[in-house]
């Protein structure tokens, strides 16, 4: 009964109620829509970086992060080929490869400089990092031919060499001695996950031979069949290797992608702040609507009080009206935003220009963010009730006699 009466009262002034509902729908659109785009951007950004640079997660020696600059070869994983093969057979793993990180001096014959390099399993890297070739700026990726070298674009420029030129490398081996090898530049690469001015890449077997570390790898890079089940897959790998004599840790893509977590958290905070500001303004509009309703219905309120309606019942009537205003706006906003999100996703999302250091444009497909959707629904309901609290108190405090005697 109270709900029906409150609903009918709202539509006495259709224009005012509709304008209020439109403002609520707009606020819901901003909150849920921005949340859906941020969530979609988060997923697409993460998936691109996973497929181009980091993999879903990586396995490395427990002390690798502490000693990778001073003693990188002393914190490598033994039996790298067997370890990679075992991980490749686990359910949910689409591919995995081993890589060996090292440093040394690189020379073009006329110029020399330091490099930070990695040796990779070429064939398996191609299956694991399916977007790796997007980072190639000139030339081609590594092939199965021995002696091929890829340099960061800035490193190649500083050495003054071009595709096809010879390259020499000097490194300190696992046992502390020096070793020298020669190669040929086949490509240049650029990306956000490595400094282009020092980057060098060779085949894993060439690197292991050069460094005197047969069958050792610094890290195993793993690709998952399903993006949404990466955390579960990490736990599966940990369980599978639990009884192995491997002193290792796993690092997921949020840790591997620089500023990933901070950027996503910042975007969400911005969306929430904007949403709160919008609904403060919406709340002022709802409060104004309810205050006007009290002023226009003073005689009606007096009649209801004279017929026996208690103060709390009058208060609940106006609070219910505020709740209905917020509820209708929330439902309409969710339906409209969900439909708009679906239409944009069906038409291919929003296309952004290539990120620095890449040639591939980034496409953002909006996806439903449950947390922001809940926030977008709860916020107008709370605002509707809170904005109606003061007008409801005024209506409940009206004297029946004074209200009925007003002209």
Give kind and range of the element (H or E) at residue 364: strand 362-364
What share of the chain in percent tops pLDDT 90?
35
> Between the ranges 136-145, 269-278, 300-309, where is the mean pLDDT highest?
136-145
Q: Domain residues of the chain, as ranges?
A: 2-49+260-405, 77-85+95-220
HSE of 36, CA atoms in CB hemisphere, 13 A: 26
Measure the CA–CA gap between 328 and 8, rounded to whole angstroms.
Answer: 13
| Residue indicated by tokens 């047969």 | 214
The residue with greater pLDDT, 177 or 8, is: 177
- Could you tell me the pLDDT band of residue 19, with boundaries at 50, 70 and 90? confident
Average pLDDT on 392-397 reads 71
Strands (E), 74-224: 93-107, 112-120, 136-139, 148-152, 166-172, 178-189, 199-203, 219-224
**Lowest model confidence (mean pLDDT) among 96-110, 221-235, 286-300:** 286-300
More confident residue, 275 or 215: 215
Structure confidence at residue 118 as a pLDDT band (50, 70, 90): very high
What burial class does residue 357 get, using C-beta atoms within 10 Å of its C-beta: 0-12 exposed, 13-18 middle, 19+ buried? Answer: middle
User: What per-residue confidence (pLDDT) applies to 141?
Assistant: 93
| 355 — pLDDT class (breaks 50, 70, 90) | low
Segment 341-368 mean pLDDT: 73
pLDDT at 264: 73
Tens of pLDDT, residue by residue over 36-68, are 888 888 888 888 888 888 999 999 999 998 888
pLDDT higher than threshold 50 for residue 72: yes
Do the beta carbons of residue 142 and residue 122 sit within 8 Å?
Answer: yes
Residue 274 CB-half CA count within 13 A = 17
Read off the tokens for 126.
């191609």
**How high does pLDDT run on average in the chain?**
84
User: Could you tell me if 75 and 67 are in contact, meaning their C-beta atoms sit under 8 angstroms apart?
Assistant: yes
Question: CB under 8 Å to 115, separation ≥6 — which residues?
Answer: 103, 104, 105, 106, 151, 155, 169, 198, 199, 200
Mean pLDDT (whole number) for 282-292: 72
Inform me whether the pLDDT recorded for 407 exceeds 50: no
User: What average pLDDT score do residues 24-47 get?
Assistant: 82
pLDDT digits (tens, 9 = 90+) for 140-181: 999 989 999 999 999 999 999 999 999 999 999 988 899 999
Residues 6+ apart with CB under 8 A from 142: 120, 122, 148, 150, 186, 187, 201, 202, 203
pLDDT score recorded for residue 184: 96
Could you tell me the pTM of the whole model? 0.75
| 361 has a pLDDT exceeding 70 | no
The pLDDT value recorded for residue 358 is 53
């Amino acid at each position: 009964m109270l709900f029906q009466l409150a609903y009918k009262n709202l539509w006495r002034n259709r224009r005012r109620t509709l304008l209020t509902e439109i403002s609520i729908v707009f606020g819901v659109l901003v909150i849920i829509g921005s949340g859906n785009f941020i969530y979609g951007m988060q997923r697409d950004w993460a998936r691109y970086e996973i497929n181009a640079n980091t993999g879903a997660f990586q396995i490395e020696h427990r002390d690798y992060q502490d000693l990778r600059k001073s003693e990188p070869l002393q914190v490598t994983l033994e039996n790298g080929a067997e370890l990679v093969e075992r991980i490749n057979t686990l359910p949910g793993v689409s591919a995995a490869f081993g890589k060996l990180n090292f440093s040394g001096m690189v020379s073009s014959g006329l110029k020399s400089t330091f490099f930070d390099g990695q040796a990779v399993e070429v064939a398996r890297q191609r299956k694991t990092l399916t977007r790796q070739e997007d980072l190639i700026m000139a030339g081609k990726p590594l092939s199965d031919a021995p002696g091929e070298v890829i340099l960061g674009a800035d490193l190649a420029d500083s050495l003054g060499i071009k595709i096809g030129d010879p390259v020499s490398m000097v490194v300190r081996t696992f046992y502390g001695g020096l070793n020298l090898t020669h190669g040929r530049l086949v490509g240049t690469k650029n990306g956000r996950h490595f400094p282009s001015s020092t980057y060098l890449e060779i085949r894993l077997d060439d690197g292991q031979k050069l460094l005197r570390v047969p069958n050792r790898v610094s890290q195993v890079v793993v690709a998952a069949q399903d993006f949404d089940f990466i955390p579960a897959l990490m736990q599966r790998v940990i369980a599978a290797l639990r009884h192995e004599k491997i002193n290792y840790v796993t690092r997921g893509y949020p840790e591997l992608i620089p500023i990933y977590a901070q950027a996503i958290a910042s975007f969400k905070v911005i969306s929430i702040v904007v949403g709160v500001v919008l609904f403060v303004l919406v709340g002022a509009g709802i409060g104004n609507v309810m205050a006007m309703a009290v002023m226009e219905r003073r005689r009606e309120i007096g009649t209801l009080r004279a017929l026996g309606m208690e103060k709390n019942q009058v208060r609940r009537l106006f609070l219910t009206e505020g709740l209905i205003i917020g509820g209708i706006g929330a439902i309409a906003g969710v339906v409209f935003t969900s439909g708009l999100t679906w239409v944009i996703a069906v038409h291919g999302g929003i296309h952004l220009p290539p990120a620095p250091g890449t040639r591939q444009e980034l496409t953002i497909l909006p996806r439903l963010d449950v947390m922001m959707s809940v926030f977008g629904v709860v916020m107008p309901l709370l605002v509707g009730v809170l904005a109606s609290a003061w007008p409801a108190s005024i209506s409940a405090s009206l004297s029946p006699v004074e209200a009925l005697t007003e002209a």
